[in-house]
Amino acid sequence: MTRSSKDFKQELLLVLPALRAFAVSLSGQHHKAEDLVQDTLMKAWAKQESFEMGTNIKAWLFTILRNEFYSQMRKRGREVQDSDGTFTQNMAIHPSQYGLLDWQDFKKALNTLSAEQREAIILIGASGFSYEDAAAICDCAVGTIKSRVSRARNRLQELLQVDGECDYGPDLYSAGTILCSFSD
């Protein structure tokens, strides 16, 4: 393995957690996400000579992953729709803690967004990309990304019944537990 291959490998390893998170957000399933990440890494490794060291490898890999995801979607055709959640409920283990319930509500709300809105809010809000980098990954204008993120945030607030800043933070049950831990 040459020095540049070692450097490239190190760069890949640093981006791997974010790449996995983005793959899960696109595919919605961990096993599909792992396959997607593996395919992305294989393509990136094969094309490493086309990557310019010192540029944004995260954006480059996210673009490869996104393109691979849409290629697989076109190949697969249509998937089974689960609009009423029956299939998901039978597969899911119901959480026993309130934080997990909130997380489930958030995931459900996130999955009701359009693919474009979900992708934009994950890139900006969760992955920390700039609007410019997200626009490059999605191959669209910066203004388009901004409007998708804005619409996604508004829709999530509506679905999660969040009215203002007071609705953010721990739920009542978690807040009580947190307060008790400080009073001891």
Residue-range domain boundaries for the chain: 3-81+100-160
Question: Helices marked H in 28-166 — which ranges?
Answer: 30-46, 57-76, 86-91, 98-112, 115-121, 131-138, 142-159
CA distance 138 to 123: 10
Q: What is the pLDDT of residue 113?
A: 93
Tell me which architecture the domain covering 3-81+100-160 has in CATH. Answer: Up-down Bundle (1.20)
- Average pLDDT per 10 consecutive residues for the chain, totaling 184 residues: 73 89 88 91 88 84 92 72 67 59 83 93 90 94 96 91 64 49 44
- 0.75 surpassed by pTM: no
CA distance 2 to 30: 33
